[in-house]
Amino acid sequence: MAPWGYSKENGPATWHKDCPIANTGVRQSPIDLITTGQTCAKYDSNLKPVIVSYPAFSEATFLNNGHSVQFQPSAGNLSELSGGPLTKKYKFEQFHFHWGNNDSEGSEHRVNGKMYPAELHLVHWNSESPNFSSFQEAVGSNDPHALCVLGFFLKVGAENASLKPITDLLSKVKNAGSSVSFPGKFDLKAVLPETLTDYYTYDGSLTTPPLAECVKWIVFKEPIEVSTAQMEAFRAVDDGHGKPITGNYRPPCPLHTRTVAASFK
Ligand SMILES: COc1ccc(/C(C)=C/C(=O)O)cc1
Ligand SMILES: [Zn+2]
């Protein structure tokens, strides 16, 4: 597999060479979340609040893999997800970010064509399936809901004290391939909005190769605020080719016959 990335030479428009599903898939992610008109998100009153049980992580690695920065707790972490559109309990695997080199771009999902400066993805896998018993098996399982990814938009405003332990660490993983063990505990719950009631949900895929179509997506309406300085810290992380990672977001994909549900009117 040629090393994929986000440049002209190895970016999203070239991924189909190693991952044909990029062009042939009918449930690819991300998408543009439309709120009015024909293909708009449909309100579903049965959609309940998302429930997260995220005890503070005590042991984790924070790494720069050349195309994003990723927080990976030790396998023993007990963080779980349920509720919302889900019928099963999911185990937390990792979180990572997508961002742009200015405030008008960076998120993967869009709302009526609007991009946010960044998007946080919390990746989970179905821990109650009889068909797989690990994250990597889940990804390769062809189960349409093997994974559930929670997406949160980031917008520029006040400094986010809860995310500061992460953004303060970005300079320590400036070089691609570098990682640090996360010092102390990290409280992910404190980063998220109080109530996880208002979201869009649809069936989609990973947004990076292998682009597996195994993801139940839940994208929250309410953005998380971060400061300009915190955004600039993301933009200083290198991609391994002597340049900063900027624009590590895949453009929106066709909806095809999918519908998007909204838990709010
Ligand atoms: C090679 O295995 C992989 C498994 C998962 C992912 C993810 C989680 C991609 C994404 O966030 O879009 C990538 C590779
Ligand atoms: Zn992502």
User: Tokens 């068909």 correspond to what residue?
Assistant: 131
Per residue in 10-57, pLDDT tens? Answer: 999 999 999 999 999 999 999 999 999 988 999 999 999 999 999 999
Cα 211 to Cα 16: distance, rounded to the nearest angstrom: 10
Nearest Cα residue to atom 6 of ligand 1: 206
**pLDDT band, very low/low/confident/very high, at 1 (cuts 50, 70, 90):** low
Paired strand residues for 119: 98, 153
ipTM of the complex: 0.98
Instruction: Count CB neighbours of 3 within 10 A.
Output: 11
Per residue in 90-139, pLDDT tens? Answer: 999 999 999 999 999 999 999 999 999 999 999 999 999 999 999 999 99
Exposure pattern of 102-137 as b/e (b: 16+ CB <10 Å)?
ebebbbbbbbeeebbbbbbbbbbbbbebeebeebee
Ligand nearest, relative to CA of residue 96:
2
Per residue in 172-213, pLDDT tens? Answer: 999 999 999 999 999 999 999 988 999 999 999 999 999 999
Instruction: State in Å: Cα 158 to ligand 1 middle.
Output: 31
Ligand nearest, relative to CA of residue 29:
1
Per residue in 48-87, pLDDT tens? Answer: 999 999 999 999 999 999 999 999 999 889 999 999 999 9
- Quote the radius of gyration of the chain (alpha carbons, Å): 17
**Strand 42-43 relative to strand 118-126, pairing:** unpaired
Report residues whose beta carbon is within 6 angstroms of any ligand 1 atom: 121, 123, 139, 206-208, 210
Cα 55 to Cα 51, 158, 190, 262: the distances in Å are: 13, 25, 10, 28
Q: What is the pLDDT of residue 246?
A: 83
- Which residues have CB under 8 Å from 81's CB, separation 6+? 50, 51, 52, 53, 89, 90, 91, 92, 122, 124, 148, 150
Report which residue type is found at 256: H
Q: Is 256 among the residues known to form the active site?
A: no
Catalytic residue among 16, 67, 121, 124: 67
| Helix/strand/coil for 119 | strand
